[in-house]
Structure 1
Amino acid sequence: MDLLLTLFHFYHRPTIFMTNKITLSVPHAILIATAHNITSLDVPRYGDPHKDARLVCHYVNDRDDPPLHSVKWYRGNHEIFRFTPEQTPPTRTFNTTLGEVTKGVCNLHSCAISVVLPKTYNTRISFTCEVSTEGPRFAVVKQTKNLTVAVILKEDPVIIGAPSSVQFGEDILLNCTTGPAMPPANIVWYIDGKQERVEPWTINNTHVSGPDEYGLRSSWRSLRIRVNTPRGAVAVRCDATQPTWPPYVRTTNTTLVVARSPHPFMFTASGSSQPILEVSVMVIASCLSSVHIFSKYSALSEV
């Protein structure tokens, strides 16, 4: 009896087949369900809430794949759009409180939609493209990417106040300013590759403007630096970082060229170790003294 049960389980155990797409476990049958391949999912990393975000899903089928059944778009866990080529009409929109789909253009190889984004900055949204093939198994593949609601900086920050050359020991005041963005950028200065040293009680020296007509804000921060490097130049960098996820950074660099000032001991009178500058000062002082004496003598003579 035990032998019969063993033989029964042996001949009725499921056979597992591995494919590069889906693994199926079936008794004494080979059922291979294949799905299309998603070649790329175009979801912008950052999305401006004042504009619709355009999302595109690209997919291809292998030679033996069943026909395309549907393409579905999800926002988080909520389905927002579906393309079913065998149905009439082939597209269907599922509007939610999270935002609506304003446009959808799909075919057998790509599906593009435009979605309304929330007006809350720094909101992170996941979008998923799901592609399935016809039955009987309706194999499915999907990909997900995230979008952060933000108006990123369109240009690098601008450094104002950098002269063409500076003198050793000179104090320089620089200013770094960004264009309008949201959330506003935080600015950090670097001098010769090292971050600007600030007082421990200073949390943030970045100043932020009021909102413009679109609610965007500019940022600026000053840097006072004393040129005391023995080298011939000072490298200055301004980093503007928006606190998004992931952070968005734009950078501007400038170089302060340190001019070589003439040293008074570089020029001396011939045959003398006394500097010309000191000799000149003595001669000028002597002449001024003579003029003063002569003027005093002339005034006495007139009396």
Structure 2
Amino acid sequence: MSTRTFLSALRPLIDRRFWMLIVSLLLASGSSAIAAENEKGDAPEFLRVKNNADGKPTALQTAIAHYQSKKDGAKLQVDLIGAVHIGEGSYYEELNKRFKDYDAVMYELVAPEGTRVPAGGAGHSSPVSGLQNGIKDMLALEFQLEKVDYSPENFIHADMSPDEFAKDMEERGDSILGMFARAMGQGLVQQSQGGSTDAALMMALFSSNREKKLRRVFASQIADMDNQMKAIEGENGSTIISQRNAKAFEVMDREIKNGKQKIAVFYGAGHLDDMHKRLLKDFGMELKKVEYLDAWELE
């Protein structure tokens, strides 16, 4: 990473409020955040920090939650696979291996219906992806669109088109800026109630082991992100999470009717708490088990 690029990234990162929004973009917008347990306590953590016996963080992990239909004799299986949009190359290699075992892999991308991502993510640039690429370089990680193989026939686009996204935002009278303003307000409340990570962030930025130390600082904030996403959602949901989830599940329902029985939903981890509730309520499914993959190494 060049000195100029590093210095240009430094200024906004010093502002913790802006930095928290960057994390939410990386982990949950097009994109993900953390999903906390629901009120009944039966939703898994879809993104978590793994600690060793001494309490030191060793990895940022994403979940693969396995659901099975409760109907007698039904073979329908749906796996919610949480994504972070920057991660270790080995993390994306493992996902590519697992995706081969599904009848359908439903994936997120606000793009025209039926869009297929070309090899290496060529042609899919945006302000968000540009920002993610910059943070990817800062943390010495890889970008999802460049490492996940979207070419197999079992990959199915399951997201809004840009026109659908814009129309839903307009009908709700909401905006991206409005959602993130709510998140910033929540961040200010949290900052006033707890300690600041500014010192740790500054030390990491100027450390000789900058990439790993920055990862640890980012990971240490994961526990705060549930409140950030709740703020973005508001009381009536949002286009960016609940409405895109509804579209994804419309596509999934179509594929189930077409005979697909083993389905993966590969979406940013911030979407999955809402999806968990939809699977239980609308599809009559139950959570059978949860496993975790290491997305970032932290030691």
RCO comparison, higher one (Cα < 8 Å, 6+): 2
Relative to the length of structure 1, the TM-score reads 0.19
Larger Rg belongs to: 1
